[in-house]
Amino acid sequence: MNVKKIIVVGGGTSGLISALMLQKRFPDKKVTIIRSTKIGIAGVGESSTEHWAEFLRFIDVPILSPILKANATIKSGVYFENWAEEDFMHSIQNHMVETDGDYFQVYGHLISNKRSCRELQGYGIWENKVALTHFNNVNNSPFNQFHFDTFKLNEWLSDLCRQRRIEIVNDDLHSVKIEDGIVKSIICERGEYESDFFIDATGFKKLLAHKALKSEWVSYADRFPVNSAIAFATDESEEYNLYTKSTARDYGWSWTIPTQTKTGNGYVFSDKYINADQAKREMEEAYGQELQVREFKFNPGRLEHVWTANVFAVGLAQSFVEPLEATSIGSVIQSIGCFMHHLPSWNDEQCNKDIANIFDNISDYVQAHYLTKKENTPFWKEVKDNMILSDTLKENLAKWKHRLPLAGDIKCNWGMFFAANYIPLLYGLKFFDIKSIGIEYSQYNPVNNIDLKLKHHNDGTFWVSHKKMIKLLTDGIYYHFDEN
């Protein structure tokens, strides 16, 4: 099928990212966004993964632009509070993942010597400090993740679309016209819009791929212990954390996301044990203030076929696990990357397989977080005793109990998480048999100067607080950059 026109239905983060990537990859095709005038934005902060930097590079935008355009702060990982006896972090730095073949020798050294979880990350992250030398080349910054003001992010991405001649039409979908099994047009309140291809970015409503073309929803609810959330904003923090903070609570976990003007927060929980009002009270007690919250419910899972006929679903219209590890934006970027690879040959069958693998890759990694030994409430006791693990995760865990994950253990086209991601997580959860890890490490001709190398990496530079660095950048004092 010769696709000349693509309509993206939905103007949230997923739709805007999709339009920008498609316009960049296929400049000869006309890309249009139809977005609702009635669906609002939660506005409680949004977090990205390192795939965000790949997206910006792909569309030729400087990596640090979100700091100026979306009230963003820098993110270097996820900090896990109260998930285990010792707090830990999922954060990957290049100097920590040096390999001997497929073996992560730095992690092997630190873990076999029973070092603290803090030592599995570089200097500065735990202290919320950044090095000025990291900004000497703003287009090659080592920082590739951010916390966004959701409203500002939407405004900025919308402006980028308009600058790149992507038309944005404000209209509300009323019905879908299907002829010969394909979507011929969408009928909205103000007009009818025909296209060769449609991107379904309609969020949890799933209006095209699921409701119109009947692609089935494959539920993963039996694998995840949470299915509800409340979200709320609080004042700007005195210092910006360099991480998303995830705190284990009585019936789930809460998030904290700092931006330049306010802090986004939420509590993800199981409605089997508490309702939204009870969750709100638990958070008000923890925060010591009255909170205005928005409630969300979700059914973890994915569409059986994300590419159906001439519709490809992205974002919440395609799949959702839960907010842990902030996979939503990254999965959109990876999914559109996969779709763009297969569109010229119209290889929908392989594309659907690849997208299913992306979701399972995310699902396994998020599931692994719940291998905590916590059992202080009925919720956590059920998680510990009864959580159903996927076959692939069970197979990997059986290997990893007595050896570190190897770089070749996980292979997934357009996947988001790989062996290195599991190591600081599983070490933080006290999963590994450390004696076995030590025996394994001893067979790799241990490098005696690893500690010296790590110390050298943290020396010889000027460090400032995260918040001060953001101010230096936004005031144009330290570095000036422009996306044009």
The answer to whether residues 48 and 185 belong to one domain is yes
329 & 183 share domain: yes
- Model confidence band, residue 93 (pLDDT cutoffs 50, 70, 90): confident
Compute CA distances 207 → 177, 199, 417, 457, whole Å: 12, 11, 29, 50
The whole-number pLDDT of residue 95 equals 83
The token duo for 368 is 């692994």
Task: Show which of 368, 392, 414 is a domain's final residue.
Answer: 368
Are 303 and 195 part of one and the same domain? yes
Dist. CA 158–CA 98, nearest whole Å: 39
Confidence of residue 484 (pLDDT cuts 50, 70, 90): very low
- CB-based contact 66:225 (threshold 8 Å): no
Whether residue 112 lies inside any domain: the answer is: no
- What backbone phi and psi angles, to 5 degrees, belong to 426? -70, -30
Does one domain contain both 277 and 341? no
**3 state SS of 253:** strand
Co-location of 156 and 250 in the same domain: no
pLDDT of residue 456: 63
In a domain, 476, yes or no: no
DSSP 408-466: GG---TT-S--HHHHHHHHHHTT-S-HHHHHHHHHTT---TTHHHHHHHHTSSS-EEEH
Q: What is the CATH number of the domain that holds 149?
A: 3.50.50.60
Token pair 């008000």: residue: 284
User: For 126-140, 185-199, 308-322, 372-386, which range has the lowest pLDDT when averaged over its residues?
Assistant: 126-140
Query: Looking at the predicted structure, is the pLDDT value of residue 241 above 80?
Result: yes
The token duo for 62 is 């400087």
Residue 183 pLDDT greater than 90, yes or no:
yes
Beta-bridge partner residues of 254: 247, 267
Task: Estimate to the nearest angstrom the gap between the alpha carbon of 112 and the chain centroid.
Answer: 30
Residue 408 lies in a domain: no
The reply to whether 448 falls in a domain is: no
Q: Does residue 167 share a domain with residue 59? A: yes
Residue 359 lies in a domain: yes
How far does CA 159 lie from the centroid of its chain? 23
The residue range of the domain holding 216 is 1-63+143-222+299-368
Tokens 């316009």 locate to: 23
Find the distance separating the first CA and the last CA of the chain, reported in whole Å. Answer: 35
Q: Where is 228: in which H helix or E strand?
A: strand 228-235
pLDDT of res. 57: 93
Token couple for 456: 């050298």
Between the alpha carbon of residue 174 and those of residues 31, 38, 199, 377, the distances in Å are: 21, 12, 16, 46
The CA distances from residue 77 to 26, 129, 245, 326, 384, in Å, are: 33, 13, 9, 10, 25
Residues 287 and 275 in one domain: yes
The per-residue b/e assignment along 295-327, b for 16 or more CB within 10 angstroms, e otherwise, is ebebebbbbebbbbbbbbbbbbbbbbbbbbbbb
For residues 188 and 238, membership in a common domain is answered with no
Same-domain status, 179 and 209: yes
List, in sequence order, every beta strand (DSSP E) within 242-366: 244-249, 252-258, 262-269, 294-297, 301-303, 307-308, 311-313, 319-320
Final residue belonging to a domain, choices 253, 269, 297:
297
Asked if residue 377 is part of any domain, the answer here is no
Both 185 and 305 in one domain: the answer is yes
Cα separation values, 329 from 45, 46, 61, 320, Å: 13, 9, 17, 11
Judgement on whether residues 239 and 284 belong to the same structural domain of the protein: yes
Calpha distance 348→63 (Å, rounded):
32
Per-residue DSSP letter, 202: -
Count of CB atoms within 10 A of residue 277's CB? 11
- What does 300-326 look like in DSSP terms, one character per residue? -EEES-SEETTEEE-GGGTEE--STT-
Mean pLDDT of 106-135: 89
Residue of 158, 183, 163, 182 lying closest to 173 (CA atoms): 183
- What domain count does the chain have? 2
Domain-embedded: residue 463: no
Band of residue 475 on the pLDDT scale cut at 50, 70, 90: confident
d(CA 344, CA 481): 36
Q: Residue 460 has what pLDDT?
A: 59
Same-domain pairing of 349 and 256: no
Edge-to-edge strands of the sheet including 182-188?
Answer: 173-179, 182-188, 192-194
Distance (Å, whole) CA 473 – CA 176:
46
Around 5, how many Cα atoms within 13 Å sit in the side-chain half-sphere? 12
Query: What is the Cα–Cα distance from 267 to 174, expressed in whole angstroms?
Result: 33
Band of the pLDDT at 131, cuts 50, 70, 90?
confident
Tell me the per-residue pLDDT of 269-323, one tens digit each, with 9 for 90 and over. 999 999 999 999 999 999 999 999 999 999 999 999 999 999 999 999 999 999 9
The SS3 call for residue 118 is: helix
pLDDT of residue 141: 65
Last residue of one domain, picked from the residues 261, 276, 297: 297
Tally of residues, the chain: 484
190: in domain: yes
User: Which 3 state secondary structure label does DSSP give 337?
Assistant: helix
Between 447 and 480, the higher pLDDT residue? 447
Instruction: Say whether pLDDT at 244 is over 50.
Output: yes
